[in-house]
């Protein structure tokens, strides 16, 4: 009875405090709409507090960029207490998040909660495959689920907001950040971008209130994927046609999917830094696309406009960024230092500050942070969620779906499950760190299941492991360069002996997980270190090799493509790498991945991509040198976009269109029959490409405009239907107008971008 009274009193007290708060802080009234609450709060804010909302600081330990001068913990705490910080990044864990949130909510005048951001790129602690690998699954449902797992874990650890998805279309494998995106194609990239936004945020904005959802961030706006020569942070100089048709579509798709934030990029676009780019951020994003969330700068990118030679000093960089619509300053320390004075001097209009603050507050309200600033601060949930069985199973599933079978000429795969002597060779086979990839700040080192551990689960074969040679020298980390072993071959002999005595050799070769990602551009796409030499030495003693590639970008492997009978693309598959690889090698999972980026024959072909243009001399009609080609290597890729084999075989037949002549606006209906004519059940990605054969601005010779992932039991046939509408048949002109032009179209349907059944139609 006594207890009941206390409870009643407690409830009454809480209610009264809440009510008092609502009177003193009318924006806490949940009955009001979000827009009403914003308009109740904004007039109460001083200019300093408004600018504070536009300021984001890094946490106190991990950094994901250059550490700024003067960015001490003391300064951050002082600014937090004054209400001069709207967000923090890379603070993680319930305890740490609660501590900073408490300062914002309880020690500042208005108690505006922080929004806590983090690079949840391919998982939080339980890691999925790197995003490029996930893209190879072409499985939108699985990709959405993978993002949902990441959101689940991150949100349980105090995080409200991820800096993902990266939707940069990219076709230059020299650029290390191709691992973060969905590859070279804007159509596939757009579909994947939507799946990732929904996975992080939920299907609707209302879902953001849920405890296991976080705000997403489409990045890097824009064209970062086209840095010249694949050189990190370099300039971008591209045509309007490329911008409108290749770069922007995935960004637009995320806006339509409800993404709540955007991040701009380090690069200049045709001479103007993205961070100070009025055309990109104000005209297109906030104007044409009506995006009402907020834009965060990239790490120190506001200050970097000075080094670019676009802003003359800190004041100028600050003003240019705000005017261009960069709403929040990540780690430049400029808005907080300069913006108040610039407004007072009339150099930046306060209305622009108000616009930025409204956007930031909107997202905070949508996340429910005003109603419960500690919604992601539940230690019990943190413990129960991170690394739980469902999440482990989920990333394993995603990892298997991401694997691409590139070659299986002699049928070495799937491996027999018993009576085999298997030599497993390569330092990466026994590596528990590299498979985690490069974005894994919340994960512990050496926590991946290695390929060796995965293979050891299959106990009825005789397995021996030899590294052959170390891949790297010393330790490596997110912040440091990888140094390769180029001299120590002392393990070669033992590896050769193991290979000689084996029925099958499985070699795990490629790049270390820290060799791709931000700041990791390369000019050499061959197998690094001593690996090519090791491969050729092993081949001499036993050519029955299954090559398992680990890499964060397309590699050039011309020798292996010619000589090695089986090649499996296994990327960096995250926490469950070894189990996924072993299950595929042993046939417990039939691979169905398809490449989301073309693999070059050598680095000189880069950038190489399937959706290229014809040129005026596409073929050798006169048997002389005057046609578009290289004199030293074929111009086709080693492995094209959309390519990937299976343990079974798929036959395509009966490609049909409902008509051959269409009026503009009419739907083109296409069907094709696909049969599994091999010996395993499997999945196939059926792909539809179009070619608009002549247009006012030339169109690529192939453009992906539809795909479907189908399950086919052995012997089974399915009919797959596609519909082409104006949305797929048009393109953007150089002013950004969408045009559907009459003319003839070719279509191709198949299991890869390089071949398939062909047909065509006319559009009037
Ligand atoms: C710089 C990277 O470009 C960006 O993608 C990332 O989100 C930020 N650093 C924060 O770590």
Task: For the chain, give every residue range classified as CATH 3.20.20.300.
Answer: 48-114+148-171+179-378
What number is the average pLDDT over the span 661-672? 97
Q: How far is the CA of 57 from the centre of ligand 1 (A)?
A: 13
DSSP 289: T
How much is the pLDDT for 362? 99
Q: How far is the CA of 298 from the centre of ligand 1 (A)?
A: 6
pLDDT tens-digit readout, 512-557: 999 999 999 999 999 999 999 999 999 999 999 999 999 999 999 9
Q: Give the residue whose CA is nearest to atom 11 of ligand 1.
A: 64
How much is the pLDDT for 592? 98
Q: Can you read off the two tokens belonging to residue 646?
A: 């299976």
Q: Which residues pair with 622 in a beta bridge?
A: none
Task: For the chain, give every residue range classified as CATH 2.60.40.10.
Answer: 650-763
pLDDT tens-digit readout, 149-164: 999 999 999 999 999 9
pLDDT tens-digit readout, 571-593: 999 999 999 999 999 999 999 99
pLDDT tens-digit readout, 346-400: 999 999 999 999 999 999 999 999 999 999 999 999 999 999 999 999 999 999 9
Global pTM? 0.96
Which ligand 1 atom minimizes the distance to the CA of 265? 3
What's the CA gap between 534 and 704, in Å, rounded? 38
What's the CA gap between 220 and 64, in Å, rounded? 15
What number is the average pLDDT over the span 676-692? 98
With 70 as the cut, is the pLDDT of residue 262 above it?
A: yes
How much is the pLDDT for 61? 76
What number is the average pLDDT over the span 303-321? 98
With 70 as the cut, is the pLDDT of residue 3 above it?
A: no
How much is the pLDDT for 65? 80
Single out the residue of 285, 282, 265 nearest to residue 274, CA to CA: 265
Q: Give the residue whose CA is nearest to atom 9 of ligand 1.
A: 299
Vertex 228: Cα angle to 223 and 234 (nearest 5) = 80
Ligand 1 contacts CB of residue 219 (under 6 A) = yes
Q: Which of 298, 300, 437 to mutate to test the pocket of ligand 1 (most atoms within 8 A of CB)?
A: 298
How much is the pLDDT for 477? 87
pLDDT band at 69 (very low <50, low <70, confident <90, very high): confident
What's the CA gap between 463 and 422, in Å, rounded? 5
Q: How far is the CA of 358 from the centre of ligand 1 (A)?
A: 24
**Catalytic, out of 172, 185, 298, 397:** 298
Q: Which of 120, 131, 178, 299 to mutate to test the pocket of ligand 1 (most atoms within 8 A of CB)?
A: 299
Which ligand 1 atom minimizes the distance to the CA of 217? 7
With 60 as the cut, is the pLDDT of residue 78 above it?
A: yes
How much is the pLDDT for 60? 84
Q: How far is the CA of 299 from the centre of ligand 1 (A)?
A: 6
Ligand 1 contacts CB of residue 65 (under 6 A) = yes
For a pLDDT cut of 90, what percent of the chain falls above it? 93
Instruction: Annotate 51-66 with DSSP letters as a single string.
Output: HHHTEEEE-SS--SSP
* The CATH number of domain 650-763 is 1.20.1260.10: no
How much is the pLDDT for 534? 98
CB 147 within 8 A of CB 122: no
Q: How far is the CA of 266 from the centre of ligand 1 (A)?
A: 10
Tokens 């900073």 sit at which residue?
100
How much is the pLDDT for 6? 41
Which ligand 1 atom minimizes the distance to the CA of 220? 5
pLDDT tens-digit readout, 625-661: 999 999 999 999 999 999 999 999 999 999 999 999 9
How much is the pLDDT for 23? 67
pLDDT band at 612 (very low <50, low <70, confident <90, very high): very high
Q: Would residue 298 show up in a list of annotated catalytic residues for this protein? A: yes
How much is the pLDDT for 68? 73
How much is the pLDDT for 475? 86
How much is the pLDDT for 64? 79
Average pLDDT of every residue of the chain: 96
Question: 388-605: which CATH number, 3.40.50.720, 1.10.630.10, 3.40.50.1700, 3.30.300.30?
Answer: 3.40.50.1700
CB 627 within 8 A of CB 620: yes
With 70 as the cut, is the pLDDT of residue 13 above it?
A: no
Within 536-604, strands assigned E span 545-550, 566-569
**Quick one: 48-114+148-171+179-378 is in which CATH superfamily?**
Glycoside hydrolase, family 3, N-terminal domain (3.20.20.300)
Q: Can you read off the two tokens belonging to residue 50?
A: 């408004």
pLDDT band at 63 (very low <50, low <70, confident <90, very high): confident
Ligand 1 contacts CB of residue 119 (under 6 A) = yes
What number is the average pLDDT over the span 247-253? 98
């Amino acid at each position: 009875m006594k207890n009941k009274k206390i409870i009643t009193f407690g409830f009454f007290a809480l209610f009264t405090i809440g009510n008092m708060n609502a009177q003193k802080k009318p924006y806490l009234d949940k009955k009001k709409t979000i827009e009403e609450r914003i308009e109740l709060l904004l007039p109460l804010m001083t200019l300093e507090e408004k600018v504070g909302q536009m300021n984001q600081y890094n946490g106190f330990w991990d950094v994901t960029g250059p550490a700024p001068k003067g960015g001490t913990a003391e300064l951050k705490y002082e600014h937090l207490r004054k209400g001069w910080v709207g967000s923090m990044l890379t603070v993680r864990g319930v305890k740490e998040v609660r501590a900073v949130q408490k300062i914002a909510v309880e020690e500042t005048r208005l108690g505006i909660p922080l929004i806590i951001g983090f690079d949840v790129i391919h998982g939080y602690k339980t890691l999925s495959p790197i995003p490029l690998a996930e893209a190879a699954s072409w499985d939108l449902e699985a990709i959405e689920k993978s993002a949902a797992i990441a959101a689940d874990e991150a949100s349980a650890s105090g995080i409200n907001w991820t800096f993902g998805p990266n939707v940069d279309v990219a076709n230059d494998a020299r650029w290390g950040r191709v691992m973060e995106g969905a590859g070279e194609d804007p159509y596939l990239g757009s579909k994947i971008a939507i799946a990732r936004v929904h996975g992080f945020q939920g299907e609707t904005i209302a879902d953001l209130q849920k405890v296991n959802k976080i705000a997403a961030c489409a990045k890097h706006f824009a064209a970062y994927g086209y840095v010249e020569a694949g050189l990190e942070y370099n300039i971008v100089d591209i045509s309007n046609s490329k911008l409108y048709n290749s770069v922007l579509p995935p960004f637009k798709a995320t806006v339509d999917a409800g993404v709540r934030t955007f991040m701009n990029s380090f690069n200049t676009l045709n001479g103007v830094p993205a961070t100070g780019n009025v055309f990109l951020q104000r005209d297109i994003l906030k104007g044409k696309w009506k995006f009402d969330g907020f834009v965060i700068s990239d790490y120190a990118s506001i200050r970097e406009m000075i080094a670019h030679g676009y802003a003359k000093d800190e004041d100028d960089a600050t003003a240019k960024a705000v005017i261009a619509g960069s709403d929040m300053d990540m780690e430049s320390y400029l808005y907080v230092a300069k913006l108040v004075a610039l407004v007072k001097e009339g150099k930046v209009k306060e209305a622009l500050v108000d616009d930025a603050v409204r956007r930031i507050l909107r997202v905070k309200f949508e996340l429910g942070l005003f109603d419960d600033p500690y919604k992601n601060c539940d230690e019990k949930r943190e413990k129960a969620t991170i690394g739980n069985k469902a999440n482990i199973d989920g990333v394993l599933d995603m990892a298997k779906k991401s694997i691409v079978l590139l070659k299986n000429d002699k049928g070495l795969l799937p491996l027999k499950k018993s009576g085999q002597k298997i030599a497993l060779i390569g330092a990466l086979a026994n590596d528990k760190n590299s498979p985690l990839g490069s974005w894994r700040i919340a994960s512990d080192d050496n926590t991946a299941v290695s390929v060796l551990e995965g293979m050891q689960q299959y106990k009825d074969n005789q397995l021996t492991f030899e590294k052959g040679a170390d891949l790297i020298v010393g330790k490596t980390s997110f912040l440091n360069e990888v140094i390769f072993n180029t001299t120590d071959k002392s393990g070669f002999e033992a590896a050769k002996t193991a290979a000689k005595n084996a029925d099958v050799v499985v070699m795990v070769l490629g790049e270390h997980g820290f060799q791709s990602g931000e700041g990791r551009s390369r000019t050499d796409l061959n197998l690094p270190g001593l690996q090519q030499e090791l491969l050729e030495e092993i081949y001499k003693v036993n050519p029955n090799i299954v090559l398992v590639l680990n890499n964060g970008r397309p590699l050039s492997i011309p020798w292996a493509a010619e000589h090695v009978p089986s090649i499996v693309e296994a990327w960096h598959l995250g926490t469950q790498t070894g189990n996924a690889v072993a299950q595929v090698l042993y046939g417990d999972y039939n691979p169905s991945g398809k490449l989301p980026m073309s693999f070059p024959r050598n680095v000189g072909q880069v950038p190489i991509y399937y959706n290229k243009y014809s040129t005026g001399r596409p073929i050798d009609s006169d048997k002389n040198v005057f046609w578009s080609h290289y004199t030293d290597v074929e111009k086709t890729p080693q492995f094209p976009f959309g390519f990937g084999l299976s343990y079974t075989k798929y036959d395509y037949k009966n490609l049909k269109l409902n008509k051959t002549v269409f009026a503009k606006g009419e739907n083109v209906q296409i069907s094709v029959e696909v049969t599994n004519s091999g010996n395993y059940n499997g999945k196939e990605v059926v792909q539809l490409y179009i070619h608009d054969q002549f247009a006012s601005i030339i169109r690529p010779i192939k453009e992906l405009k539809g795909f479907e992932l189908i399950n086919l039991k052995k012997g089974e046939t399915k009919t797959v239907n596609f519909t082409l509408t104006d949305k797929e048949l048009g393109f953007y002109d150089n002013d950004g107008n969408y045009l559907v032009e009459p003319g003839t179209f070719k279509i191709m349907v198949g299991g890869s971008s390089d071949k398939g059944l062909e047909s065509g139609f006319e559009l009037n």
